Chains A and B, each alone.
Chain A
Amino acid sequence: MTARGKRLALILAALALLGGATALVLSAMRENLVFFHTPSEVAEGKAPFGRTFRIGGLVAPGSLERLPDGVTVRFAVTDTAKTIPVVYRGALPDLFSEGKGAVAQGKLGPDGVFVASEVLAKHDENYMPVEAQHAVDQAQRAAATLKP
């Protein structure tokens, strides 16, 4: 093989490697994207069953209760229009509290209860999780357009 041919072979090999990496990235992306749904969307049945997604909004006041095992909690996430019950086993983040924004990741059970595998709250008391804010804004915008 000439030097030129070898260089070409090398470039082709590098491109093949790059192509393989791209294919890997795209397939991983398709399988692991987590979509976000507002409580209203979940109530309307727009959220998928059996697939992990995120739900966010405010923790409905008075909804937080601890089950007898002491570790599992139930609460409800609301976007002020619709409310979705959530169950979660584990310790809640420091800034999780009723009336404050939270985002939960998990799957929707057949009984309409969202089984969270992860609960995220804010890192700072002044800020709202972007997704939680988005859910509330959406619901309020929807309410505003319905009223007149």
Chain B
Amino acid sequence: MIPEMGQFALALAWALALVQAVLGLAGAARGSAGAMAAARRAALAQCAALVLAYACLTASFLRIDFSVLLVAANSSTRTPWFYRLTGVWGNHEGSMLLWALSLSLWQAAVAAFSRSLTESFRARVLGVLGAVSVGFLAFLVLTSNPFERLVPMPAEGRDLNPMLQDPGMIIHPPLLYMGYVGMAVAFAFAIAALLSGRMDAAWARWSRPWTLVAWVFLTLGILVGSAWAYYELGWGGWWFWDPVENASLMPWLLGTALLHSLIVTEKRGAFRSWTVLLAIGAFSLSLLGTFLVRSGVITSVHAFASDPKRGVFILGLLALTVGVSLLLFAWRAPRLSGGGAFAPVSREGSLLVNNVLMASAAGAVLLGTIYPMVIDALHAGKISVGPPYFETVFVPLMVPAVVLMALAPFLRWKRDALARVLRRVWPELIGALLIAALGVWAMNHVTFGAFLGIALTAWVVLASLRLLVDRLRQGGAVGLAARLRGIPGSWWGMWLSHLGVGVFILGVTLVGALEQRLDVKMMPGEAAELAGYRFVLRGVSEVPGPNYTAQRGELEVWREGRMLTVLAPEKRAYFRSAMPMTESAIDWGVFRDVYVSLGDPTGDGGWVVLLFYKPFISWIWFGAIAIAVGGLAAALDRRYRRLARRMASVPLPEALPEPAAEAVR
């Protein structure tokens, strides 16, 4: 009964999404208050229906109902309950349901928390989101029904892919999906702006917090995915330029460009067409990512099933979205031109360069990711584009972006002189170069890459500190505490995120320069040395788990005659699949990780053991967390809420002319 209820709820959600799309868009076009209010209620109802559908699927998993195909294929009686809970999205159908649920949660949030939007604008946003929902729910119902029954019911299920039986898997997909799908909100705001012709400072202020929150989710989702790959795959790497990773990086890059372009639209009324284009691009790349991951065109842990029908369906949705929105853009964008003029050396100019670099980086990653697929589809041979390509392209594009990132907050709007700014920050510039020279000398690792990385970090950190000091010097007679409180959330957000980028770069640089790896055969009782650490293999023993049997190694880690810890990496054999699974063991530290994983038994009682020394790898995660927290701080800026209230009390005419928009600001 429960699966049927879920299926019914899913179909109902589809119908409600259709109602929402039609009433939202038509209601706004005709100015019908009743239709617009109904669209809002449809969005809330659609969300309720999807929550119900999702709850039904979860209940089927928790009750171990093998009469549901999905449950039988992705869990077993021995799977622990929490992995049955996450097993819901550890497969194609369930993860698409989660996708649809995330989208409906965003829609409900827009419906509930956007009192400040004009009625017609909100109806248009909900209408566009409803249309996206219609497409995806149709995809679910027609090609990927999660509630399909299995007759006859098997006595035991096939269990969840062992690679997905991990705590990282509990949070990675929901975070990432909230990010991917959140880009749909930015997209809907852009389309609604094109439809209504209204795109002013107020529009940017509405749009920006939503975009920020989506971007924060995306950042955290990528972070967790990267950390998961680091400790779960047992190879010690944290980023592989795998197509699936690239699929999440591309919308992140364009989303970053969008956030910065929105600032200019908000403060100066410029970059408006460009902002719309970035919003369309970021969402299109999210869809492309979904296509890459879900269509089975690539082999990866994420490609659960390859059904060509599904790939074609998503590709169709993608083509429709991109086609319709670009047509609309071509038709309406001329209305959006204009905005404040500015000189090349100015805050606007620096943000424009940031946008060009971010978009170029996204384009380069896109090319490297889909080129092999296009060549393959044309039957022109099989090729692959490896990490060297991405590194060669990515680093030269990001270096000027980071240099500029730290410099741009010192620049004035409209017009500035480079000489004025350089006079202010030359001590920081020189200081950064000195620190980098000292750093590579102290590490005894003199390479251009290490020098560059440390110089960039030092520059970002020093410039950020200088920025804060300068900011605190302003503010006249009030005390320091009052001045600190007086700094708005969006400024703190910018500051923290930029600082996070510096920390991240330091992590990447130092782990790249100083990491050490040793693949070694060890007999029980034998020792191996790496980077001043001494590893002693006590032995390998068989240990039972709930749904697997593990070979667990015990390695003592010694340094300077003292035993630090005992690491226990495992090689697991899961009952229901023939698939062995490496579980690495890590001694986490702020300044270094010591990472051990078991390779293969050598047949004579010995084991191949992989030993890694990973200095500063945690700084990669710290940096990413700072970037995300900064984004959140900016999204919570009082300015957005205060302005929202003011806007609500004074309804603006549609398509505010530019001088009036200036006045409102």
Contacts and interface: CB of A to CB of B under 8 A. Distances in A.
Interface of A: 3, 6-7, 9-10, 13-14, 17-18, 21-22, 24-25, 28-29, 31-36, 54, 66, 69-71, 89-92, 94-95, 105, 122-125, 127, 129-131, 134
Contacts of A33: 383-385, 389
Nearest to A125: B579
Nearest to A128: B299
Contacts of A89: 519
Contacts of B349: 10
Given A21-B397, A54-B384, A32 B579 contact: no
B389 A95 contact: no
B656 to A, nearest CB: 23
Interface stretch (B38-46, B207-215, B275-283, B603-611): B603-611
Interface of B: 161, 163, 234, 298-301, 303-304, 306, 341, 343-344, 349, 352-353, 356-357, 360, 363-364, 367-368, 371, 381-386, 388-389, 392-393, 396-397, 519-521, 577-582, 597, 599-600, 602-603, 606, 608, 610
Contacts of B382: 35-36, 54, 131, 134
A17 to B, nearest CB: 5
A28 B389 contact: yes
Given A29-B368, A34-B384, A7 B341 contact: yes
Closest 10 CB pairs of A and B: A70-B521, A91-B599, A36-B382, A32-B389, A28-B392, A21-B360, A123-B301, A32-B388, A25-B364, A34-B384
B386 A71 contact: no
B301 A18 contact: no
A122 B397 contact: no
Given A124-B161, A124-B579, A21 B344 contact: no
Give the residue among A18, A122, A130 with the most B Cβ atoms within 10 A: A130
B580 A91 contact: no
Contact of A21 (B352, B364, B582, B599): B364
Contacts of A36: 381-384
23 contacts: A10-B344, A17-B360, A21-B356, A21-B397, A25-B363, A28-B388, A28-B392, A31-B392, A35-B381, A54-B384, A69-B521, A70-B520, A70-B608, A71-B519, A91-B597, A91-B608, A94-B234, A94-B581, A122-B299, A123-B163, A123-B303, A124-B163, A125-B577
A91 B579 contact: no
B602 A66 contact: yes
A83 B360 CA distance: 43
A31 B299 CA distance: 24
A85 B341 CA distance: 65
Question: Which of A34, A35, A91, A95: most chain B Cβ within 10 A?
Answer: A91
A56 to B, nearest CB: 9
Contacts of A124: 161, 163, 301, 304, 579
Tell me whether chain B's interface is mostly helix, strand or loop, or mixed.
mixed
A94 B174 CA distance: 27
Nearest to B298: A130
B386 A92 contact: no
B384 A24 contact: no
A3 B344 contact: no
Contacts of B299: 122-123, 127, 129-130
A125 B578 contact: yes
Contacts of B303: 123, 127
Given A29-B367, A122-B299, A24 B344 contact: no
Contacts of A122: 299
A122 B580 CA distance: 12
Contacts of B352: 10, 14
A111 to B, nearest CB: 23
Nearest to B348: A10
A92 B163 contact: no
Nearest to B518: A71
A36 to B, nearest CB: 4
A72 to B, nearest CB: 9
B304 to A, nearest CB: 8
A29 B389 contact: yes
Contact of B385 (A22, A29, A69, A131): A29
B396 to A, nearest CB: 6
Contacts of B388: 28, 31-32
Nearest to A124: B161
B441 to A, nearest CB: 30
Contacts of B301: 123-124
Contacts of A34: 383-386
Given A29-B385, A129-B299, A95 B606 contact: no
A24 B363 CA distance: 12
Given A21-B360, A69-B521, A32 B578 contact: no
B603 A17 contact: no
B381 A25 contact: no
Contacts of A28: 388-389, 392-393
Contacts of B298: 130
Contacts of B304: 124
A66 B234 CA distance: 21
A92 B599 contact: yes
Nearest to A54: B384
Contact of A70 (B381, B578, B602): B602
A71 B392 contact: no
A23 to B, nearest CB: 11
Given A7-B341, A123-B163, A25 B393 contact: yes
Contacts of B577: 125
Nearest to A69: B521
A71 B383 contact: no
B393 A18 contact: no
Nearest to B606: A70
B521 A71 contact: yes
A43 B574 CA distance: 38
A36 B520 CA distance: 30
A95 B581 CA distance: 8
B416 to A, nearest CB: 13
Given A28-B393, A123-B301, 7 more contacts: A24-B364, A24-B396, A33-B389, A36-B381, A36-B383, A90-B519, A123-B163
B596 to A, nearest CB: 12
B300 A123 contact: yes
B520 A6 contact: no
A85 to B, nearest CB: 19
Contact of A92 (B343, B581, B600): B600
Contact of B371 (A29, A69, A91, A131): A29
Contacts of B371: 29
A34 B382 CA distance: 9
A129 B381 CA distance: 16
B20 to A, nearest CB: 37
B392 A32 contact: yes
A38 to B, nearest CB: 9
A130 B388 CA distance: 22
B220 to A, nearest CB: 24
Given A25-B367, A34-B385, A124-B161, A95 B579 contact: yes
Given A18-B356, A24-B393, A29-B371, A71 B161 contact: no
Contacts of A24: 364, 392-393, 396-397
Contacts of B579: 94-95, 124-125
A34 B387 CA distance: 11
